[in-house]
Amino acid sequence: MKETIHRTSPVNARVSVEVPSERVNEHLNQYFVSVAKQARIQGFRPGKAPVHVVKQMYGQEAASSIGERIISEALLEVVRKHNLRLILPPTLIAVDAAKEGNPFRFEAELDLRPEIPEFNLEKIEIEDVPSKEVTDQEVMARLEEVRDHFSHHHLAPEGHLIATGDLAAVKYGANVNGERIEKACTTRQELELGKNSILPEFETGLLGLKVGDSKKISAQFPEDHQLDEIRGKLVEFEVSVLEIQSRHRPNWEEENLLERVMPGAKSLDDLKSKTREQLKSEFERNRKQGIRESLSTALLKETSFPVSQRQLDFATESVYNDRVQALGRMGLPPQEIESRKDEILKFAKDAAEREIRVSYVMDQIARDAKIEVNPEDIENRLKEIATAGGHSLTDVKNFYLQKEQDGSSSRLERLQMDLRDEKSLDYALSRVTIKNRGSNS
């Protein structure tokens, strides 16, 4: 077999391969003999048709099937022979048909793992946020957020004036310079005040109104608003209040709220104590995540290397789709998401490239330090996931034995890769210098 490899970039190569005719003939003959044993051809008993008849009937099918097999075998030989580290399946750009007596030629584009330059962990310095005590104010702020979560709305009594937290049903017309804008009008819309989801001028104008009141409210719309007719313009609304639902925030003694918020909490003081511990744990998790992010940033500054454009494109698409879905779950309407497409795409590309680069550096650290993930590591992590989610260990294991949504690998393989990255990060953190922010030492 003859092969020629041309490096088109540090992370890409084009390979041209010629498989000799003898090898092609061998594959074709094996295929036809195998088919002849099973083929049912009119005029012949099952499995007794001559090979030349089988060739006439199955020649085209054989050319396709054998071509794929030869390409797979040949590429595997080339990769092993030249120690090429592929990161994606090869892209075929030219392929011959497999014909008896002829050599078989094909060309393919290869995406390769980049070479990571050497770096010294001991020379890297990063900052850490000093530990802090959780204040009473922080505990109470969290508990007030919890109360908000359990609040609910009910129809307000007659004469009730709209206040922050209320849910107001309104109808309004909209005018720009005296011209009615139908697309900005509505016969009924429910607005919750205090959620920062309404233009400030509109929300302020609603406060203090009661059912049956009408009022003119002017609001300046942003330049990036999705509706062309009011984008960047001052809009005058004629608003009428149809219904008001006031918000009820339960006291801790009401509706078994303590038990609903934190099963096992015996009193409000007990809840405060447990909440303080939660806030401490959250701070520590965020502090450790911040250290890891700082380390990743420092490592990327120490290492400069190209990445495969095809790999970057795949990763960008994945991050983009995840981001769009997340914005949808947050309540952003599809038209607003579409209007922010370029912004989201830039975010996705930057995030994908960072993720790819960090992954390569972590992999290099793991290789250098001979870091491996053993079955005990996986078992312990699965137990943690089961405990945190309130699931059985069997259910969690069954979930991770399934394939990823794209079918590329099992979730267990992904978990193993994540654990290896975590261990690599921990190893790196044990080698770098960590300084407290604001400290001169």
Identity of the residue numbered 134? V
3-state secondary structure of 219: strand
d(CA 365, CA 345): 30
In the chain the domains, ranked by start, together with CATH numbers, are 2-111 (3.30.70.1050), 152-248 (3.10.50.40), 267-436 (1.10.3120.10)
Q: Which residues does the chain have with pLDDT short of 50?
A: 440-441
Asked if residues 176 and 235 have their Cβ atoms less than 8 Å apart, the reply is yes
d(CA 394, CA 391): 8
Token pair of 97, please?
Answer: 């048909």
Asked if residues 162 and 206 have their Cβ atoms less than 8 Å apart, the reply is yes
Q: Which of 8, 83, 97, 3 is nearest to 308 (CA)?
A: 8
Hey, how many other C-beta atoms are within 10 angstroms of the C-beta on 426? 12
Place of tokens 């060739």: 55
d(CA 139, CA 275): 6
3-state secondary structure of 258: helix
Asked if residues 344 and 320 have their Cβ atoms less than 8 Å apart, the reply is yes
d(CA 58, CA 40): 12
pLDDT at 191: 92
Asked if residues 129 and 439 have their Cβ atoms less than 8 Å apart, the reply is no
Query: What's the Cα-to-Cα distance from 159 to each of 206, 208, 357, rounded to whole Å?
Result: 14, 10, 62
For the stretch 394-401, contacts whose Cβ atoms lie closer than 8 Å and that sit 24 or more positions apart, written own/partner, are none
SS3 content of the chain, % helix, strand, coil (to 5): 50, 20, 30
DSSP 184: G
pLDDT at 47: 60
Strand 433-436 to strand 179-180: parallel, antiparallel, or no bridges (unpaired)? unpaired
Place of tokens 């390979």: 15
Hey, how many other C-beta atoms are within 10 angstroms of the C-beta on 50? 11
Measured at the alpha carbon of residue 329, what is the angle toward residues 326 and 334, in degrees to the nearest 5? 90
Strand 186-192 to strand 179-180: parallel, antiparallel, or no bridges (unpaired)? unpaired
Asked if residues 162 and 194 have their Cβ atoms less than 8 Å apart, the reply is no
Identity of the residue numbered 258? L
Q: What φ, ψ does residue 110 adopt, rounded to 5°?
A: -115, 135
pLDDT at 441: 43
DSSP 230: G
Residues 6+ apart with CB under 8 A from 382: 393, 396, 397, 400, 415
Q: pTM for this structure?
A: 0.68
Average pLDDT, the chain: 87
d(CA 105, CA 61): 18
Could you give the dihedral angle defined by the CA atoms of residues 118, 119, 121 and 126, in that order, rounded to the nearest 10 degrees? -150
